[in-house]
Amino acid sequence: MSLLTRKLLGVGAAVAVLGVLIALYISSWATSFPASVSATPAVRQGGANLTLETVAAIGPKYSPSHPDWVSYLVRRGGKWVRSTIFSVPAHSIVHVTVYQYDGDSGLRNPFLSQVQGTIGDTETVDGKTVRGIDPEEASHTFAVPELGILVPLPGVPEEAKNQCEFAPCEGAAHRTITFSFRTGGKGRYHWQCFVPCAAGWLNGFGGPMQTLGYMDGFIDVT
Amino acid sequence: MGEPNHLRRLTLIWLIATLVVTPLVVIFVGPIMPPGNASEQSAGHVTDNTVLLGMATPVLLLLLIYLAYAVIFFRQPQGAVLEGPQLRGDTRIQTAWIVVTSLMVLVLAVYGSVRLLADNGAGSGSGPSPVAKPSGPKLPVQVIAQQWEFTYRYPTYGGVETPHLELPRGQMVELHVTSLDVIHSFWAIQLGVKADANPQVDNIAFVKPTDLGRFEVRCSELCGIWHGQMFDYGHVVTPAAFQQWIHQQQVIYAPVTKELPPYKTTYLPEPTRRGE
């Protein structure tokens, strides 16, 4: 085998290895996209139920790569899963329950502390119906700007005992928030948190605030 | 038969083409230039784009005509590989090139500056102290950018804030554009308004809507994962409809208006305790 042939084979092998590595990286990236979770039918009320949870740190069980990131979780089949892509039926009422395990951070814009776009423009916080919360007490928001939906979520008080460090958080101190909204026609809408809640990032705006699957995602109206 | 005077022929062809094509382009293409005529500023943009198009047309024609002329008259005989004569030190060509291009750039610079001043910034963000300010009454509207939504505050209506933008037709509007977090840019496309939204900067732009209807609002500065979703629609309505709408907003957002800080041209929002 000539020197030229050996060189060509070497270059060819290196290119092939590089190609395989790139393909592996792309397939890993593509398959790490959060799975869509469907809302369950609300038998008694009609419409659909969506049950969510917010945690200060997602923990290694749900996100080995970013265990300290703040995150939403969604209940599917009785278990909590890390996904922020929700599928809800068109032209129906979606009843949302959020178990809020995180402390408060406060809103940069107090305007976002008023409930907007839900049925009655209200939410319930631990069973009490309210039209808004103290902006300083906001921990997160559940907002779908395109649909005009904005729900501020108050944080767990600092003095509360049994604070949850990282998910799973069952049994820890929490707030329970419920609200309902009507869906229109089919479409994909982004939702997000407006509170700068990403600990350790400049002004709280990086990391989980800028990565699909933690503090923002999509609502697929199907 | 000697070599014809190519320069004279080319110049003649180009002159005739310019005299015929340029008016046609200005008359028929000019009116459909973006961004439309929904405001005095956007109408000014259409005029400016038409002027630029009218200036660019002769240049484009010169290139196309020279290309066609060269293909036809300077074609090499088949099989021949000949180089054209090299021109060195032709002062006339060099002077003409420098003078013509310099004139074009200077004319455009002067035209642009005059238009910016005459049109009160032409819908662009002119910083906290605009050089050109329109006279007469103005409606101040604050544009607050945040990841990833624009909200709007009307200081002369109790400082009410709303996620919707409505403007009265025929009223000069003074937009105060700012941001609560990163750099955004407020772009009301059909109104011809584009102003950077920088934190702790009051960027002022003037616009006078003239047409009723919907206009598109977009962020035009890459500002994070949902930058592409940072869009909405605003509306230009009659002054009476605007009064009705703004009073509705005052009622709807009365509870949260009490929570808002006093109106300021910029804000330094707190808390940032989760950040570094």
Divide the 276 residues of chain B into consecutive groups of 10 and give the mean pLDDT of each group: 86 96 96 93 94 94 96 82 80 92 94 91 92 93 96 97 97 96 95 95 96 97 93 96 97 92 87 49
Range with top average pLDDT, A1-15, A197-211, B176-190: B176-190
Structural domain boundaries in chain B:
6-74+99-118, 139-257
Q: Which residues of B touch A146 (CB under 8 A)?
A: 229
Answer yes or no: do B270 and A198 touch at CB < 8 A.
no
Domain A35-221 has CATH 2.60.40: yes
Residue pair B186/B217 in contact (Cβ under 8 Å)? The answer is yes
The pLDDT tens digits of the residues spanning A69-113 come to 999 999 998 899 999 999 999 999 999 999 999 998 889 899 999
Q: Which residues of A touch B253 (CB under 8 A)?
A: 111, 114
Which residue from A114, A71, A77, A74 is spatially nearest to A94, judged by alpha carbons? A74
d(Cα B143, Cα B265) in Å, to the nearest integer?
Answer: 10
Answer yes or no: do A209 and B182 touch at CB < 8 A.
no
Q: How much is the pLDDT for B270?
A: 65
Average pLDDT for residues A138-167, to the nearest whole number? 92
Answer yes or no: do A110 and B261 touch at CB < 8 A.
yes
Q: Which residues of B touch A114 (CB under 8 A)?
A: 253, 255-256, 259
Which residue from A67, A154, A176 is spatially nearest to A103, judged by alpha carbons? A154
Q: Is B270 exposed, middle or buried (0-12, 13-18, 19+ CB in 10 A)?
A: exposed
> Which among A148, A201, A212 is the nearest to B275, CB-wise?
A201
- The pair of structure tokens assigned to A173 is 């101190």
> Which among A108, A113, A210 is the nearest to B224, CB-wise?
A210
Q: What is the CA radius of gyration of chain B?
A: 26
d(Cα A203, Cα A196) in Å, to the nearest integer?
Answer: 7
Question: Tokens 């310099």 label which residue?
Answer: B102
Q: How much is the pLDDT for B3?
A: 81
The fold of the B139-257 domain, in CATH, is: Immunoglobulin-like (2.60.40)
pLDDT bucket at A31, cuts 50 / 70 / 90 = low
Strand order in the sheet with A216-221: A36-38, A85-88, A216-221, A187-192, A138-144, A149-154
CA-CA distances (angstroms) from residue A79 to A53, A67, A185?
A: 11, 19, 29
> Which among A109, A199, A211 is the nearest to B144, CB-wise?
A109
Q: Name every residue in B having a CB less than 8 A away from some CB of A.
A: 144, 146-149, 151, 161, 163, 180-182, 224-226, 229, 232, 253, 255-256, 259-261, 269-276
Return the DSSP state at B9.
Answer: H
Average pLDDT for residues A46-73, to the nearest whole number? 92
Residue of B nearest to A111 (CA): B256
A190 at the B interface (CB within 8 A)?
A: yes
Give the residue from B147, B252, B260 with the most A CB atoms within 10 Å of its CB, the best one to mutate.
Answer: B147
Answer yes or no: do A202 and B276 touch at CB < 8 A.
yes
> Which among A109, A134, A210 is the nearest to B225, CB-wise?
A210
Higher pLDDT, A165 or B76: A165
Distance from CA of B108 to the nearest CA of A (A): 41
Answer yes or no: do B151 and A111 touch at CB < 8 A.
yes
A35 pLDDT above the threshold of 50 = yes
The pLDDT tens digits of the residues spanning A117-136 come to 999 999 999 999 999 999 99
- Output the DSSP codes for A85-114: EEEE-TTSEEEEEEEE-SB----SSGGGGB
> Which among A105, A114, A146 is the nearest to B271, CB-wise?
A105
- In total, the C-beta contacts within 8 angstroms joining chain A to chain B are 91
Answer yes or no: do A202 and B256 touch at CB < 8 A.
no
A105 at the B interface (CB within 8 A)?
A: yes
Higher pLDDT, A45 or B232: B232
d(Cα A141, Cα A158) in Å, to the nearest integer?
Answer: 19
- Strands (DSSP E) found in chain B: 139-146, 149-154, 160-162, 166-168, 173-179, 184-188, 193-197, 203-207, 213-219, 231-237
